[in-house]
Chains A and B, each alone.
Chain A
């Protein structure tokens, strides 16, 4: 079945460091891909998305490119801030369109130190 694999955490970085969180997927057809973020004490919220191959999603300085050839959707940010400390989830929505259910990875906890 469809699945998402993302890098194990926790990830600890210093402020202004470069961030990469790897995400690969297994799916039939053409899924939509998402990154969700969960800040401490808050609910899950959409960070960015891409709905077709070679699309780049971006938001709040974060970027991810839908790479069908490598079945990947890695999250990157050029300079992290303490406020980016959160748990990041990669997710896919399977091909088909009519059912928008999400399949999530296990999550990667990011801690950014000042």
Chain B
């Protein structure tokens, strides 16, 4: 079974530029999550989708971050414009459903460096 795919794996941009990350979850997984992991910290949830609807985006900085999951499969996360403090690893995860007991499967992450 293929795992969660993410691209690109690494990205370096200047501040005020825009960037987009892509995630392809495990086939059949209804729930998709985007987490931000700053160096030395644990991942923090940015947004959770159930199929193509948003369940929780309370911690998403909506003035600069946006995310979509068209057709309930792939998802993209965009930052526009980027700030220095956005330097982090962006993790995508998926699960069969959003229930607490369902295991989340994580992708390898995209490491973003903002200069």
User: Are B91 and A43 within 8 A (Cβ)?
Assistant: yes
Is A51 located at the chain interface by the 8 A CB criterion?
Answer: yes
* A82 lies within 8 A of chain B by Cβ: no
Interface centre among A42, A89, A99 (most CB of B within 10 A): A99
Shortest beta-carbon distance from B70 to chain A in Å: 21
- Is the CB–CB distance between A93 and B100 below 8 Å? yes
Closest to A32 in B: B100
| B: interface residue count bin | 20 to 34
Known: A44-B91, A45-B106. A51 touches B42 (CB 8 A): no
Are A106 and B103 interface neighbours, CB within 8 A? no
A100 in contact (CB, < 8 A): yes
Q: Which residues of B contact A91 (CB under 8 A)?
A: 42
Q: Is the CB of B101 within 8 A of A106?
A: no
From A31, A46, A101, contact of B33 by CB (8 A)? A101
Most buried by B among A93, A101, A104: A101
> Quick check: is A40 within 8 A (CB to CB) of the other chain?
no
A31–B105 alpha-carbon span in the complex (Å):
19
Say whether, besides A43-B91, A44-B106, A101-B33, A51 and B101 are in contact (CB < 8 Å).
Answer: yes
Q: In the assembly, what is the distance between CA of A97 and CA of B31, in Å? A: 13
Any B CB within 8 A of the CB of A17: no
Q: Closest CB of chain A to B37's CB: distance in Å? A: 8
Q: Which residues from chain B sit less than 8 Å from chain A, CB to CB?
A: 3-4, 31, 33, 35, 40-45, 48, 55-56, 91, 93, 95, 97-109
The 7 closest A-B pairs by CB, nearest first: A104-B42, A93-B100, A44-B106, A32-B100, A43-B106, A100-B98, A101-B45
